[in-house]
Amino acid sequence: MLGFILKRIGLLIPTFIGITIVSFGFVRVLPGDPVLLMAGERGLTDERYAALLTEFGYDRPIWVQYFEYLRDLLSGDFGNSLVTKQPVLTEFFTLFPATVELSLCAIIIAICIGIPAGIIAASKRGTFLDQAIMGTALVGYSMPIFWLGLLLIIVFSGMLGWTPVSGRISLLYFFPADTGFMLIDSLRSGQKGAFASAVNHLILPSFMLATIPLAVIARQTRSAMLEVLGEDYVRTARAKGLAPARVVGVHALRNAMIPVITVIGLSVGTLLAGAILTETIFSWPGIGKWMVDSIFRRDYPVVQSGLLLIAVMVMIVNLLVDMTYGLINPRIRHT
Amino acid sequence: MAESSGSVKAQTRRQMLSEFWFYFSENTGAKIGLFVFIGLVLIAIFADVIAPHAANVQYRDALLVPPVWQEGGRWEYILGTDAVGRDMLSRLIYGSRFSLFIGCVVVAIAVTGGVTIGLIAGYFRGWVDMVIMRVMDVILAFPSLLLALVLVAILGPGLTNAMIAIAIVLQPHFVRLTRASVLNEINREYVTSARVAGAPPFYLMTRTILPNCLGPVTVQATLSFSNAILDAAALGFLGMGAQPPTPEWGTMLAEAREFILRAWWVVTFPGIAILITVLAINLMGDGLRDALDPKLKRT
């Protein structure tokens, strides 16, 4: 198993180098003078320009610049935001829990609805129920989620007045963000109604973000179950006279889960892409909104390092998925 | 002799087509998807004839008029008007042109680039393959929409740049798929025999191997078509795609955002248009997979 893990990590090194080249190159391929872009100041005097040129190191050969960039990254220096003047890394880790909280809720919703829906569809194959579930899944899969978000706001916030339109918690509550996870912090604060408010704020965005993974998981579960239900060992289990629920729930499901777990792991990228839209619509203070805002504000140091950090996160999660996969299915380890 | 081989070819082609149609039409959803898609294409082509108004004409006496079935609605504006008095229905009709155009252009770029690169990687193997695949890994490491956003930030907002960005983001899927199929085919006997018969590499790649890899690529192309439409609409919605007053559906939604609690129709209809289009294409994609994937055919 250790060899398998090391091999996987080894494979990631070229990808990591590629990612650093992309984020390093990003500022240099932008139209306009990189010094002006990265300085974010207007009306620079010649002396100030020359000083900045040396400070940023743009006067040195490109490969020297790259290695210095790499050295800075490895020592934890990701540059400072032009707008807030804060280190990008600090901002990233302040906002990251909000995105993780949202994504986790979304993936939990997707799993809790998607897997049972897929199992039901597979075990009732060809019936109206199967078609209804798969039809709904296809609609979910084809959904422009930013539009769904707007509809959710119209119905639940506008017409019914059940949920708030934006933010993570009502302005009535204030407590220190120890963990950055609003659900945990609000519980720990002990303030009455804080937790309920946090949940209320979380429902619509996490449902919006869950839509596509939910549809994908339901479809994948169904097809994996159908494949497994046709296997000999399932027939044997049936022939032994086991209860249908046990055959489906234990014998078939366990084996059908392998491709489903892969799909869940792969949906991390989808979730982050979806988070960009979800956070923008619900003014959710996470890294998706942070990236979009930074692009619009031309806060290029943030865009540059944010891109890198997000890609590295996706890479790490994919590695973890690979390892889980290796744990569940020993055959993978030896290929 | 030549004539008879030609007619044999034509006959096999007809047979293949009818077999394809047999499997495709067994899937009711796929047929519905196909009809809706044809309908959309017709709407896009004849937009000038069908649309009751021009897309960008503002009727100052009809701001935010609700749809005809609601109180205050008018028959001139069946689906109502937006905040500056433009007819929603006409804008949606013209918008279909943009969505289909985006889908076609993006898929054309992504397929051409992706299949070529994938063929090269799979055929030559070695360091060429390694470099290509690592580059694709890097592109895939970024969430697609984020990468597209950043690319548009580099290239400048606008529909053309949005299409290029989305094509770049979708391309690695075609590279991987083509490479995998090439690896699968390259050691088959028919390829070896063509090589022994003296076929040059270019001929082997394009004439011998490629046609046998096209099934999965076609299915992926359909999926990419709908992804392209969704991503372009998302970019438009974020203000990085088509720019106002273009009647692109995502851009229309972005313009409508501030009215969501006052005028539901300006938000609802463009979204329905996107959903129907994407759904139709995905339904067709499912049918295509049934018809083109020989493994699923037997089960």
**DSSP label at residue A80:** B
High-pLDDT (> 90) share of chain A, %: 36
- Option in B153, B156, B237 nearest A146 (CB): B237
Residue A267, min C-alpha distance to chain B (Å): 10
Question: Which residue from B259, B101, B231 is spatially nearest to B166, judged by alpha carbons?
Answer: B231
Instruction: List the domain boundaries for chain B.
Output: 29-293
pLDDT of A36 higher than 80:
no
pLDDT at B291: 83
Output the six-digit token pair for B229: 């439409």
Residues B253, B260: Cα–Cα separation, whole Å? 10
Instruction: List the domain boundaries for chain A.
Output: 88-334
pLDDT of A234 higher than 60:
yes
The string of DSSP codes covering chain B is -HHHHHHHHHHHHHHHHHHHHHHHHH-HHHHHHHHHHHHHHHHHHTHHHH-SS-TT---TT-TTPPPTTSTT-BTTBTT-B-TT--BHHHHHHHHHHHHHHHHHHHHHHHHHHHHHHHHHHHHH-HHHHHHHHHHHHHHHHS-HHHHHHHHHHHH-SSHHHHHHHHHHHHHHHHHHHHHHHHHHHTTSHHHHHHHHTT--HHHIIIIIIGGGGHHHHHHHHHHHHHHHHHHHHHHHHTTSSSPTTS--HHHHHHHHGGGTTT-HHHHHHHHHHHHHHHHHHHHHHHHHHHHH-HHHHH-
Residue B146, min C-alpha distance to chain A (Å): 6
Which has more confidence, A316 or B44?
B44
Q: Which regions in chain B score pLDDT beneath 70?
A: 1-5, 293-299
The string of DSSP codes covering A121-136 is HHHTTTSHHHHHHHHH
Mutation site for B-interface testing, chosen from A19, A30, A142, A225 by largest number of B Cβ within 10 Å: A142
pLDDT at B297: 46
Say whether residue A171 is in contact with chain B using an 8 A CB cutoff.
no
Average pLDDT over residues A85-108: 92
The string of DSSP codes covering B213-248 is GHHHHHHHHHHHHHHHHHHHHHHHHTTSSSPTTS--
Give the CATH class of B29-293: mainly alpha
| pTM listed for this prediction | 0.89
pLDDT at B1: 46
Q: Which helix (H) or strand (E) holds A290?
A: helix A287-297
pLDDT at B136: 92
* Each residue's pLDDT tens digit, A111-132: 999 999 999 999 888 899 999 9
* Each residue's pLDDT tens digit, A245-292: 888 877 888 888 888 887 888 787 788 888 999 999 999 999 999 999
Question: CATH assignment of A88-334?
Answer: 1.10.3720.10
226-265 of B, contacting A, C-beta below 8 A? 226, 230, 233-234, 237-240, 250, 253, 257, 260-261, 264
Say whether residue B144 is in contact with chain A using an 8 A CB cutoff.
yes
Using a CB-CB cut-off of 8 Å, the residues of chain A touching B140 are: 269
Residues B46, B88: Cα–Cα separation, whole Å? 17
Are A145 and A131 a contacting pair, CB within 8 Å? no
Residue A144, min C-alpha distance to chain B (Å): 6
* Each residue's pLDDT tens digit, A171-222: 888 887 778 888 888 888 888 888 888 899 999 999 999 999 999 999 999 9
Say whether residue B26 is in contact with chain A using an 8 A CB cutoff.
no
